[in-house]
Chain A
C-alpha cells in the first residue's frame, strides 16, 4: 500500500463549473476525512466518514459541496458552481479506528490543488 492517494493533483476550472476530486484511503482504514487549506493557513476540517456513513460536516461545507463514500472505500468530493473563493488545496486523510482506541494517527494524501479562474 502506497498511502493515501488523491486525484487529480491539480485542477484549473472556470467559475461556475462543477469539479470532482477523488481520494483513495489506505486499505482497511475505516475513517476518511476531507480538509481544505488556503495559502498561509493550516488545514480546515470539512467532513469525515466512518465506513460509508458521513458522520460530521463542518459549517465550511456549504450546500455547493457534497462528499460521498459509497462503499466505504474511496471517496469523492464534488463542488458545484465553483467560485473563486473555492480555490484551495483539498486534502484527504484516513485512519483506522479500532474499538475504543483513540490515539491513532491520520495519514494524509498529497492533496488536490484547485484554481478557479
Chain B
C-alpha cells in the first residue's frame, strides 16, 4: 500500500472550513484514498473514501487531484467535536489499513 504524508498538526476556527492535505505520490491506479479520524480514547471512525472522482457525504468532502498524487479532506463547518487525529490512507488491500501518524486537528472557539 502507498505511503502517505500529512502535516502533523493544524488548527481551525469553529465554524470555518478545515482543509486537510495529504500527499500520496506513489499511489497506484487501483488504490483508493480513505480518510478516518480518531477522537481521543475512541476507535477510528470512517469518514469518506474515493478513487478518482471527488466525493461528498454528510461528514466531509474529498478532493482528489487529477494525477491522484494528493488529496484534500474538507470539513465544511468545523465544530469543537471535530477535534481529532485525521488519518489519510491509500489501499488496494481491502483488509489491511496502514495508518500513519495522521494530522492532529484542533478546533478552537
Contact = CB atoms under 8 A, between A and B. Distances in A.
Contact of B45 (A45, A56, A108, A113): A108
Interface in A67-110: 91, 93, 95, 97, 102-110
Contacts, number: 59
Contacts of A31: 94-95
A83 B42 CA distance: 24
A56 B98 CA distance: 14
B32 A103 contact: yes
A48 B43 CA distance: 17
Interface residues of B, number: 22
A109 B44 CA distance: 8
A26 interface: no
Given A95-B94, A105-B34, A108-B43, A42 B49 contact: no
B99 A43 contact: yes
A54 to B, nearest CB: 12
Interface string A17-55: 000000000000001010100001111110010000001
B28 to A, nearest CB: 13
A105 B87 CA distance: 14
B60 to A, nearest CB: 13
Contacts of B49: 103, 105
Interface residues of A, number: 28
Contacts of A42: 85, 87, 99-102
B96 A48 contact: yes
B92 interface: yes
A104 B94 contact: yes
Contacts of B32: 102-103
Contacts of A113: 41
A44 B87 CA distance: 13
Nearest to B97: A106
B17 interface: no
A-B pairs with the 3 shortest C-beta distances? A42-B99, A108-B43, A102-B94
Interface of B: 32, 34, 41-46, 49, 51, 85, 87, 92, 94-102
